[in-house]
């Protein structure tokens, strides 16, 4: 049984069962500083891949960022043969639940997306888990698609570490992208289509609200 179903059951049960699944995010949201290194604008369209726990919330946040053209939930880190939700949920495939973000770098820089990611999307100090979700498929990871993305991401992680933005060490890794595999149709736009789903209400809606509050200049409805 997936952690999302268990979470919904715990909410319905109430009491200690629900309390055991909190907090949503141990560290955050955190006001991460603007990146000192910014990527040179490569054109009018760029793609980036982020893994930050359940892809519902990651997709939900990035879909509200100005300059983002599309955000697609999927799987990254394993092979095509294991890129199915139930298989990925075993935590044995190498896949992470991830989101492919296509954006206009003239409107939002990759460095800006990194800042949003580390501020409101994921707790980068947790290892192989996010909030109530546990397993390697819920790890935080960046999958750079170019040398400039890789250097920008490394520089930003170093900047955050040097500034001691978090109380614990950053666990987020840069991983080699071996293919992005879109998730099943029912996972796409899940937050927008199911705003009152218990998991969304308790885990993901606060992230979107934090984006709107902390980055009003980047917000789009």
Count H helices and E strands in the chain, helices first.
9, 8
Q: Which of 21, 35, 54, 121 is catalytic?
A: 54
Peptide bond just before 23 cis, omega within 30 deg: yes
176: tokens are: 């080699």
Q: What is the CA radius of gyration of the chain?
A: 16
Cross-strand bridge partners of residue 76: 96, 180
54 is catalytic: yes
| CA 131 to mean position of chain CA atoms | 12
DSSP label at 146? S
> Active-site residue numbers?
54
């Amino acid at each position: 049984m997936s952690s999302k179903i268990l979470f919904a059951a715990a909410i319905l049960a109430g009491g200690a069962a629900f309390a055991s699944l909190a907090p949503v995010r141990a560290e955050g949201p955190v006001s991460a500083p603007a990146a000192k290194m910014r990527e040179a604008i490569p054109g009018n369209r760029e793609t980036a891949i982020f893994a930050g726990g359940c892809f519902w919330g990651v997709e939900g946040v990035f879909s509200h960022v100005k300059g983002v053209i599309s955000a697609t939930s999927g799987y990254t880190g394993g092979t095509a043969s294991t890129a199915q939700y139930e298989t990925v949920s075993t935590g044995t495939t190498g896949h992470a639940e991830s989101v492919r973000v296509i954006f206009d770098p003239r409107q939002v820089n990759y460095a800006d997306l990194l800042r949003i990611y580390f501020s409101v999307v994921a707790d980068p100090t947790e290892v192989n888990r996010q909030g109530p979700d546990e397993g390697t498929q819920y790890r935080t990871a960046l999958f750079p698609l170019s040398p400039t993305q890789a250097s920008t991401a490394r520089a930003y992680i170093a900047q955050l570490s040097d500034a001691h933005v978090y109380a614990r060490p950053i666990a987020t890794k840069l991983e080699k992208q071996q293919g992005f595999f879109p998730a099943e149709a029912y996972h796409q736009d899940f937050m927008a289509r199911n705003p009152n789903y218990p998991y969304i209400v308790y885990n993901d809606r606060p992230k979107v609200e934090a984006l709107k509050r902390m980055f009003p200049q980047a917000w789009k409805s």
